[in-house]
Structure 1
Amino acid sequence: MSAYSSVYQALTSGRPLRPGEAAQLLADLRRETGDELADAIERDLSGKYRRGPQDTDGEFRKKRRQYGAAMRIVKALRSLAAVPIHPAFPHQRNRSTS
């Protein structure tokens, strides 16, 4: 079952969700949406940066750099989508600013 289906069923069931359940459903939805978006971007980029018969070595190096930059963005998108809702930041126990 997709995350969207799970969220839809949870919202239309008439039963109130506990905050932890809602956070988990939203995290699953965000992760699934991020993966789908990253996959779509990868499919779109797959043929754009291939070496053409008229490309010089310099033009091909430029294409490789552009492809690498685009794939780094795709990787960052995947990692952002996989971050938990509440990141584990250490609790600051004092009010000191220094």
Structure 2
Amino acid sequence: MSAYTAAFKALTAGRALRPCEAAQLLADLRRETGEELADAVERQLSGKFRRADTDTDGAFRKKRMHYGASMRVVNAFRALARASHPDFPNQRTDRSTT
């Protein structure tokens, strides 16, 4: 059963969830969504940075560099999705939220 289905069933079951159950459902949903997002982005990038016949060595090095940066972002998504307690940086702004 997918995490979305489990969360939907828990929310529509008519009984209140304990906080630990709700936290586990949300963690499963975050993990599954993050993995699906990372897999989809990786599939989109798979053929984009291949060497073409017209590429010079410098152009191909740039493609490899861009591919490496893209994959670091994809791997950061995966790590964030797997984290038990994701550590988001605090926003330090003085703006009002109202």
The TM-score, its normalising length taken from structure 1, stands at 0.86
SS of residue paired to 1:70: helix
The TM-score, its normalising length taken from structure 2, stands at 0.86
CA distance in 1, matches of 2:62, 2:43: 20
What's the C-alpha RMSD, in Å, of the aligned pairs? Answer: 1.2
Alignment partner, residue 96 of structure 1: none
Q: Which amino acid aligns with 1:83?
A: A
Unaligned runs of 5+ in 2: 88-98
**1:30 partnered with 2:26:** no
Instruction: State the structure with more CA Rg.
Output: 1
**1:42 partnered with 2:42:** yes
Alignment partner, residue 77 of structure 1: 77
Retained in 2: the 8 A contact 1:23–1:85? no
Retained in 1: the 8 A contact 2:10–2:17? yes
After TM superposition, where is structure 1 displaced by more than 3 Å over at least 4 residues in a row?
none
Question: How many equivalent residue pairs?
Answer: 87
Retained in 2: the 8 A contact 1:27–1:84? yes
Change (3 A) 1:85 1:18: farther
CA distance in 1, matches of 2:73, 2:55: 25
Change (3 A) 1:34 1:18: same
**1:64 partnered with 2:87:** no
User: 1:86 Cα shift?
Assistant: 7.3
Percent of residue pairs identical: 67
Unaligned runs of 5+ in 1: 88-98
CA distance in 1, matches of 2:24, 2:43: 29
SS of residue paired to 2:39: helix
Q: Which amino acid aligns with 1:40?
A: A
